[in-house]
Structure 1
Amino acid sequence: MEPMKNALWFLLGITGGFVAAHLVNKDPRGHEVLAEVDARISEFTERIGDAYRAQEAKIEGLVADAKDAASHVVDAAQKAASAAADDVADAAAEAVEASKDAAAKLTD
């Protein structure tokens, strides 16, 4: 029952506000007041929109910087892993050669 009562009061408030604004708008002074209120609301929404777009651009810049940094880290890790694999392959080849040399000395 309470939610219905709250909804009724809410709707009555909206209706009352609409009627009051309509009556105020008929008077030239009231029309000026409503025009000023509308201008202030428009200015406020423009400022909020500008702030939102500025923040969005800032975040996009941070994300781009993070992607670039991550890309550089991945590239460096790949180069380091490739160099380590090459070093292991070289060491294995040297070990095979050393084993062949040792085996050749034993058979001589």
Structure 2
Amino acid sequence: MIVRSLVWFALGIVGGFVAAHLVNKDPRGQEVLAQLDSRIGEFTDRMSDAYHAQETRLSEIIDDAKSVASSAVEKSADAVDDAARAAEKAVSPSD
């Protein structure tokens, strides 16, 4: 069953190459293939631009999250230091 599927797959690939070769020999076919290539190029360019825009957007979000987390850690450390000082004052004998 798998061998039969692989044979049909291989025949499909070979048939596609033969058809493309025959279409490429005809000037009208060359024009159609050129238009197809142009459209594929436009599509890949748009996809690439969208990918890079999304990547930039996500990088900005991650940078903002890192900044917020860093600020929260600093404020927490300050709060712990303040609490430690207050506890130390409360425990130490009054002068």
Q: What stretches of structure 2 of length at least 5 have no aligned partner? A: none
Equivalent-residue separation in structure 2 for 1:81 and 1:19 (angstroms): 75
Equivalent-residue separation in structure 2 for 1:8 and 1:48 (angstroms): 34
Q: Deviations over 1:5-36 (max 9, x none)?
A: 11110110010000000011011110000000
Specify the code of the residue in structure 2 equivalent to 1:50: D
CA RMSD after TM alignment = 1.0
Larger radius of gyration: 1
1:33 aligns with 2:32: yes
Q: Deviations over 1:50-96 (max 9, x none)?
A: 11111111110110010001011101100000000000111111xx3
Runs of 4+ in 1 over 3 A off after TM superposition: none
Specify the code of the residue in structure 2 equivalent to 1:16: G
TM-score normalized by the length of structure 1? 0.84
Partner of 1:78: 77
Equivalent-residue separation in structure 1 for 2:91 and 2:32 (angstroms): 88
1:43 aligns with 2:45: no
Instruction: Tell me the CA shift for residue 3 of structure 1.
Output: 1.0
Equivalent-residue separation in structure 1 for 2:23 and 2:33 (angstroms): 8
Equivalent-residue separation in structure 2 for 1:52 and 1:5 (angstroms): 39
TM-score normalized by the length of structure 2? 0.95
